[in-house]
């Protein structure tokens, strides 16, 4: 497929991006095609695979869901999206059946890693790719990778369900059995834009005075987040503990999600020494029935703020978290990106805004892939990317509950997170046995070896040493461009770009205008590191053109 120019894009339907898509698009530009927001799935298929039927089924999915063939470009200074005409999705079918078994499995592992890390070109209109490895006449490995800007967890379940139905139909020689979709993603974008935003005011009140960063002890200094390798630790939650927590929840009107979230807040307070904890949690944003079969990014993020008091009963903490979660759910219609803009926390390139830790509870394979006549086994993708300092994912199946800890291993050693995970299991067991047991006091905070004089304090990003005034002509141009991007008549030398209303997309626009006007390279991360006119002028004054 030939990519169109930006002028071509301006003459076709180019709806804006949803709030969540804008964030993902910006992160892709910032991190230059990072794998952080790829969604890979891999399956070992045992039996006689009908390769043409599989290829036909995947093609039908791309034809059906326009987000899988949507491109993203900049038109008149803003990101827009457009849909490419459906063309046959190129596959990568590799026959490795002639290799020795050990080499075959090594090739499979390499293929899984390669698919995970291979960047997407968001301007190409190809947001899904698939790869098929033929290990033998009765054994294949299928890898499907989607960019998060075109999908989410709910959408992945829809895709698995529809791929199963399409393959069964085409394998049997029947036509496409799926009914037409009731809506398009652009309808969701309009709905989100028109939705009442009164909830933003709630979040401004709820998050007022929130600490800038959660200061968990680290093993290495914090650095700018470009693309962050991650570590993973999996720990089972004992069945008897899970059962008891659910029994307590049924009695007190709390869900397992609320209980485990409260315990997570207590854990973070104990290890950080802070009593004001902010935790991000993802929620599906599909308030209308016609959005339920839509494939796309329909996710919002809520910030759950928990005050943890040493010495209070765990049961009381869980009850307060229950109220906080219910309040947050009532105000879930405010897009997280608008909340960030309204709250306007200090912007740092090395810290995610409002929260640095995530919590999610998910059902395991609520819609598994099922291909007629085949045994389908999901494969674990090696490697992981950490989007936050620490994430706790609770995977719940009918028979087991597994805690998956994803951590930024540029910050933490594995041993530290293993200690956290063990402490969490101990908290869960104590609460299950004695609901009125009390929250433990914070642990003594020790200065990390890398920063003995700065115990438990956030590491600020490196900032240029700004003189009292840079060269007058550069400072004048920088001030004019700040004002132009922000829509302000005048900007002072010490005014902060983000305090004046700047955000991720306007920062990108400022970087591009500075580059074009002054003829120097300006990375958008430098806008975060040097957010005032004086600081940016000083930085650019020392840079050769």
- pLDDT, residue 195, reads 79
For the chain, percent of residues with pLDDT exceeding 70: 89
> Which residues make beta-bridge pairs with 496?
532
Q: Tell me, yes or no, whether 130 and 223 share the same domain.
A: no
Higher-pLDDT residue of 534 and 134 is 134
- pLDDT, residue 443, reads 73
Do strands 299-307 and 276-284 pair parallel, antiparallel, or not at all (unpaired)? Answer: antiparallel
Residue 445 lies in a domain: no
What lies within 8 Å, CB to CB, of 153 at 6+ separation is 282, 284, 299, 362
- pLDDT, residue 196, reads 64
Least confident of 147-156, 196-205, 285-294: 196-205
d(CA 508, CA 502): 10
Q: Tell me, yes or no, whether 180 and 252 share the same domain.
A: no
Q: What is the CATH number of the domain that holds 535?
A: 1.10.1200.10
Residue 466 lies in a domain: no
Residue 390, classed as helix, strand or coil, is: strand
- pLDDT, residue 456, reads 34
d(CA 203, CA 363): 28
Residue 10 lies in a domain: yes
For 207-286, where are the alpha helices, taking DSSP H only? 239-252, 256-272
- The angle formed by the CA atoms of residues 525, 531 and 536, to the nearest 5 degrees, is 85
Q: pLDDT at residue 482 above 90?
A: no
Q: Tell me, yes or no, whether 211 and 354 share the same domain.
A: yes
Residue 231, classed as helix, strand or coil, is: strand
Residue 237 lies in a domain: yes
**What's this model's pTM, rounded to 2 decimal places?**
0.79
- pLDDT, residue 261, reads 98
Residue 261 contacts residue 326 (beta carbons within 8 Å): no
Q: Which residue has the tokens 């036909």?
A: 56
- pLDDT, residue 36, reads 79
Instruction: pLDDT band for 535, please (50, 70, 90 cuts).
Output: confident
Residue 508 lies in a domain: yes
Which of 127, 161, 188 is the last residue before a domain boundary?
188
Distances (CA, A) of 409 to 84, 307, 360, 405: 39, 27, 20, 12
Greatest alpha-carbon span in the chain: 76
For the chain, percent of residues with pLDDT exceeding 90: 59
Q: What is the CATH number of the domain that holds 158?
A: 3.30.559.10
Q: Tell me, yes or no, whether 170 and 207 share the same domain.
A: no
Distances (CA, A) of 309 to 32, 248, 274, 492: 42, 21, 10, 43
Q: pLDDT at residue 391 above 80?
A: yes
Instruction: pLDDT band for 451, please (50, 70, 90 cuts).
Output: very low
Q: Which residue has the tokens 């803003």?
A: 78
Q: pLDDT at residue 260 above 90?
A: yes
Q: Tell me, yes or no, whether 174 and 212 share the same domain.
A: no
Residue 403, classed as helix, strand or coil, is: strand
d(CA 291, CA 115): 29
Its sign, for the CA torsion 365, 371, 372, 377, is: negative
Residue 178 lies in a domain: yes
Which of 188, 209, 232 is the last residue before a domain boundary?
188
Which of 156, 188, 220 is the last residue before a domain boundary?
188
Q: Which domain holds residue 304?
A: 197-366+381-433
Residue 153 contacts residue 297 (beta carbons within 8 Å): no
Q: Tell me, yes or no, whether 489 and 362 share the same domain.
A: no
Q: Which residue has the tokens 């899984």?
A: 112
Q: Tell me, yes or no, whether 348 and 493 share the same domain.
A: no
> Which residues make beta-bridge pairs with 231?
407
Question: Starting from the edge strand earliest in sequence, which strands make up the sheet with 299-307, in order?
Answer: 230-236, 401-408, 390-396, 357-363, 276-284, 299-307
Query: How many structural domains comprise the chain?
Result: 3
Q: Tell me, yes or no, whether 329 and 386 share the same domain.
A: yes
Residue 221 contacts residue 457 (beta carbons within 8 Å): no
Residue 454 lies in a domain: no
d(CA 176, CA 65): 14
What lies within 8 Å, CB to CB, of 98 at 6+ separation is none
Q: What is the CATH number of the domain that holds 347?
A: 3.30.559.30
Instruction: pLDDT band for 502, please (50, 70, 90 cuts).
Output: confident
Q: Tell me, yes or no, whether 219 and 340 share the same domain.
A: yes
What lies within 8 Å, CB to CB, of 482 at 6+ separation is 488, 491, 495, 497, 500, 510, 533
Q: Tell me, yes or no, whether 290 and 418 share the same domain.
A: yes
What lies within 8 Å, CB to CB, of 448 at 6+ separation is 217, 218, 219, 220, 221, 455
Mean pLDDT of 510-521: 80
Residue 74 contacts residue 10 (beta carbons within 8 Å): no
**Residue 510 is inside which H or E element, if any?**
helix 504-518
Q: Tell me, yes or no, whether 263 and 129 share the same domain.
A: no
Q: Tell me, yes or no, whether 343 and 235 share the same domain.
A: yes
What lies within 8 Å, CB to CB, of 363 at 6+ separation is 395, 396, 397
Q: How many helices (H) and strands (E) does the chain have?
A: 16, 13
d(CA 347, CA 504): 10
CB hemisphere CA count around 47 (13 angstroms): 12
Higher-pLDDT residue of 87 and 395 is 395
Q: In degrees rounded to 5, what are phi and psi of residue 447?
A: -65, 130
Residue 372 lies in a domain: no
d(CA 162, CA 178): 8
């Amino acid at each position: 497929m030939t990519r169109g120019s930006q002028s071509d894009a301006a003459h076709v339907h180019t709806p804006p991006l949803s709030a969540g898509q804008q964030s993902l698009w910006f992160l892709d530009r910032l991190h230059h095609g990072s794998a952080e927001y790829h969604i890979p799935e891999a399956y070992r298929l045992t039996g006689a695979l009908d390769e043409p039927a599989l290829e036909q089924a995947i093609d039908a999915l791309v034809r059906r869901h326009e987000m899988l063939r949507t491109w993203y470009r900049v038109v008149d200074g803003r990101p827009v999206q457009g849909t490419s005409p459906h063309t046959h999705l190129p596959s990568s079918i590799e026959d490795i059946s002639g290799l020795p078994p050990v080499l075959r499995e090594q090739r499979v592992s390499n293929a899984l890693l390669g698919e995970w890390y291979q960047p997407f070109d968001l301007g190409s209109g190809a947001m899904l790719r698939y790869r098929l490895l033929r290990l033998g006449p009765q054994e294949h490995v299928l890898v499907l990778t989607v960019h998060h800007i075109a999908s989410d967890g709910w959408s992945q379940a829809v895709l698995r369900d529809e791929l199963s139905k399409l393959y069964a139909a085409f394998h049997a020689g029947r036509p496409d059995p799926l009914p037409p979709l009731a809506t398009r993603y652009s309808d969701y974008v309009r709905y989100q834009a028109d939705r009442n935003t009164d909830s933003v005011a709630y979040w401004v009140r709820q998050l007022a005075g929130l600490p800038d960063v959660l200061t968990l002890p680290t093993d290495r200094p914090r650095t700018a987040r470009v693309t962050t390798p991650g570590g993973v630790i999996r720990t089972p939650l004992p069945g008897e503990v899970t059962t008891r927590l659910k029994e307590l929840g049924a009695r007190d009107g709390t869900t397992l999600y609320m209980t485990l979230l409260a315990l997570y807040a207590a854990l973070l307070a104990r290890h950080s020494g802070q009593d004001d904890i902010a935790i991000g949690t993802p929620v599906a944003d599909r308030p209308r029935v016609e959005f339920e079969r839509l494939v796309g990014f329909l996710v919002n993020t809520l910030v759950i703020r928990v005050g943890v008091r040493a010495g209070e009963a765990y049961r009381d903490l869980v009850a307060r978290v229950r109220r906080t979660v219910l309040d947050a759910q009532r105000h879930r219609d405010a897009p997280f990106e608008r909340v960030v803009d309204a709250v306007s926390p200090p912007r740092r390139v090395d810290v995610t805004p409002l929260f640095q830790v995530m919590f999610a509870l998910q059902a395991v394979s609520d819609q598994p892939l099922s291909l007629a006549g085949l045994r389908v086994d999901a494969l674990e993708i090696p490697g992981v990317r950490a989007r936050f300092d620490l994430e706790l994912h609770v995977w719940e199946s009918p028979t087991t509950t597994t805690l998956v800890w994803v951590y930024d291993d540029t910050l933490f050693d594995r041993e530290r997170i293993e200690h956290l995970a063990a402490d969490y299991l101990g908290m869960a067991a104590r609460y299950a046995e004695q609901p009125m047991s009390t929250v433990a006091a914070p642990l003594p905070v020790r200065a990390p070896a890398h920063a003995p004089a700065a115990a438990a304090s956030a590491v600020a990003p490196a900032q240029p040493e700004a003189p009292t005034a840079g060269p007058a002509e550069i400072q004048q141009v920088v001030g004019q461009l700040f004002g132009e991007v922000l829509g302000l008549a005048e900007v002072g030398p010490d005014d902060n770009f983000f305090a004046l209303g700047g955000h991720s997309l306007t920062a990108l626009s400022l970087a591009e205008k500075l580059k074009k006007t002054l003829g120097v390279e300006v990375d958008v991360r430098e806008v975060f590191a040097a957010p005032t006119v004086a600081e940016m002028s000083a930085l650019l004054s020392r840079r050769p053109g």
